[in-house]
A and B are shown apart, each in its own frame.
Chain A
Amino acid sequence: MIEQVWRKSGAWPEFIEVMRLALRSKSEGGRDPSLWASLPGMCCQAAGGEAQWADPVAAAWLLFFAAAHLMDSVEDQDEPDPWWAAQGPGLALNAATGLYFSACLALQELNNLPIPYEAQRAAAVQVLQPFLLMSSGQYVDFNTPKPTLDEYWRIAGAKSGAFFSLACQAGARLATDQPQALQGFQQFGLNIGLLVQILDDLADYRALTEQKGAVDARGLLRSLPAAYLREVCTNEAIERFHGLVWKASENPGALGEIIQIIEQNGGALYLLAELDKRRSLALAGLKRAARSSPARDALVALLDKLQAPST
């Protein structure tokens, strides 16, 4: 569907190729977002519709994901992907702009679906409406280098939570307008998004735990373990933790002590508890949203890939 949108758009082939490259870029940690682009179709099916009705929503979601990932990379001054390394962030922003507008065009394909106009319109709005919330979350994230625990959850909810929530709710809205079902899919998607955020945070700790590779101090200070320590530890312990994180790149001895501080203060247990809680809440949302069916089972299987049950 994305190629179809580009073909009809009048965009020049060389620019389409750049957008194609941007779409193929992996998210953080090398993960492929196309798995998550199946969420709208799966939720549509679980809500009683046909999975292919959600193809425009899935295409838009994937394009928005790629655009947001690019913008994040530029904002965080990450190592550039090869295709924009030479020309710099200007090319990345150019491609991101193209992806955003491509996503809007993909949503126009909802017009061709054999479903009521109200459902088409409502699904399109449910895709677009959260973006100002997500941009707000990104703005606060940008300006909050050491979030408190409350700030962490607020930002994560507004960014990853809202993004995955829209995938699920918009897909379901193509099949149902029942408020309880839509709220259930919203809850499911929100908690999937939060699980993804926690697991992405943990990717920053690999360098620490394996004691190799570059340490991303800014990423660590924004992460859930760091926010947790700020909630429960004394000011002295927090300052010590911050100091160790900044030294970690040059001082391998700091790595072990960072892990020790987190574990001794219950940080690892807290992570496990939150991972389990988010899974439980996602499942509860799904049970509220849809009756037992192969489609609902497939959503549970997707959740299990992300976070296996503790029981």
Chain B
Amino acid sequence: MSLSDPSTLALESTMDKAAPRRRKLRPWDWAPYVFISPFFILFAVFGVFPMLFSIYLSFHTWDPAAGLSAMRWVGIENYTFTLTDDWFQKSVFNTAWIAVVAGAPQHLIAIPLAFFLHTAFGRWRNAVVGFYFLPFITSSVAIALVFTTLFSRDYGVINQVLTQLGQLPVLEWIFPQQKIDWGQPEYTKWMISFVVFWRYVGWNTVLYLAAMQTIPKDLYEAATMDGAGKLQQFWHITVPMLKPMMFFAITLTIIGNLQLFEEPFIITGGTGGIDQAGKTAAMHMYNTAFMDGDFGTASAVAWLLFIAIALLTWVNNKIFAKSGMKD
């Protein structure tokens, strides 16, 4: 039994002390509280307090320039205004659109890619994984700026490649003949989604790869003995065994994509683009607070967004729990 075990301590103190009512505090009784206190102090000051204040703020109308006394109680008006606001609805639609179009392929590609890297790459696996992972660690601002160059209409590399491919036989059915103006509302979301997909597909691949390394090898050996091909092994062993990681990775994607801010913000120059086609809900919150100076409504937007994220995470949890594979 260890010295730091509280039951041992209690026993000792009652035995060796004259007044057993109050045991003496040893350094190791209070030290852990001191050691963890920085986290909780910082979280209280810069986490809990701001959040409580933001709830309070969301029920008020307030222009911060006018000082604290200019705060006026409006009840749930900020929430009803936001929910019926066309621009908010549009930004939620954009967010959901990008979340699905950028999010789903991440997983549909990352899982088979990770499987292939896991089974068919030996020595070179780490290098290839590194290439796919690289976008995840680089500055999203630098990345978004580079992509605005690549996506520019007249001289952008992406348009040049696409139209070149459009000249070839057969491929002309898929690829455009004309240069695409990616700034137009019907294309903005595609552009943003591609950048987001590009940035996070490697991260998901790495997550799935790490999970695959924990699947016992004898499962595959047994399957091979029974004559199962690689494809069957993938469907009947890898995919079911990956369910817990799928739950985790998809949760991260939901949380991340619903608060998408930096990529669309840079790509559309902070405006949301023509017709606000690329404006996400987090951008709507930012603009409401810092462009319109309406902190009350912006706080309401933030909390509505938070509720949406919490609900979707919960639904995701239910779906995985129902399929019976979540541990």
> Is the pairing of A and B real?
no
